[in-house]
Amino acid sequence: MHTDLFDDNPADALEHVARRALDLRTRLHAHAHRYYVLDDPQIPDAEYDRLFNELQALELAHPVLQSPDSPTQRVGGKPLAQFASVHHTVPMLSIRTETDTEATGAQNFDTRVRKELGLTESDPAVEYVAELKFDGLAMSLRYEAGVLVQAGTRGDGQTGEDVTQNIRTIHQIPLRLPVAAPAVLEVRGEVYMRRADFEALNARQRAKIAQGIKGEKTFVNPRNAAAGAVRQLDPSIAAQRPLSFFAYGLGEVTAQENGGPEFTTHFAMLQTLALWGFPVAGQVERAHGAIELIAYHRRMGASRDRLPFDIDGVVYKVNALSLQRQLGFVTREPRWAVAHKYPAQEQLTTVLSIDVQVGRTGKLTPVAKLAPVFVGGVTVTNATLHNEDEARRKDVRVGDTVVVRRAGDVIPEVVSVLLEKRIEDARQFTMPHQCPVCGSLAVREEGEADYRCTGGLFCGAQRREAILHFAHRRAVEVDGLGDKLVEQLVDSNIIRTLPDLYKLGLVALSSLDRMADKSAANLLEALEKSKQTTLARFVFGLGIRHVGEATAKELARHFGKLDAIMDATEDALLQVNDVGPIVASSLRTFFDQPHNREVVEQLRACGVTWQEGEPAPRAFMPLAGKTFVITGILPNLSRDSAKDQVEAAGGKVAGSVSKKTDYVVAGADAGSKLLKAQALGITVIDESALLVLLTASMD
Known catalytic residues?
133
Q: What is the DSSP string of 89-102?
A: SS-----PEES--S
Per residue in 495-512, is it b (16+ CB within 10 Å) or e — as a string? bebbbbbbebeeeebeeb
Q: Exposure of 273 by Cβ count < 10 A (0-12 exposed, 13-18 middle, 19+ buried)?
A: buried
Q: Using alpha carbons only, what angle is made at residue 520 by residues 514 and 524, rounded to the nearest 5 degrees?
A: 150
Measured CA to CA, the distance from residue 488 to residue 485 in angstroms comes to: 5
Residue whose C-alpha is closest to residue 253's, from 141, 338, 334, 138: 141
Q: Using alpha carbons only, what angle is made at residue 622 by residues 618 and 625, rounded to the nearest 5 degrees?
A: 95
Report the SS3 class of residue 197. Answer: helix
On whether the CB atoms of residues 623 and 693 are closer than 8 A, the answer is: yes
Residue 118: CB atoms within 10 A of its CB come to 8
On whether the CB atoms of residues 225 and 198 are closer than 8 A, the answer is: yes
Measured CA to CA, the distance from residue 459 to residue 463 in angstroms comes to: 6
Consecutive H or E run containing 509: helix 506-510
Residue whose C-alpha is closest to residue 166's, from 139, 146, 133, 197: 139
On whether the CB atoms of residues 447 and 585 are closer than 8 A, the answer is: no
Residue 348: CB atoms within 10 A of its CB come to 13
Q: Which residues pair with 152 in a beta bridge?
A: 140, 162
Residue whose C-alpha is closest to residue 684's, from 697, 668, 696, 666: 666
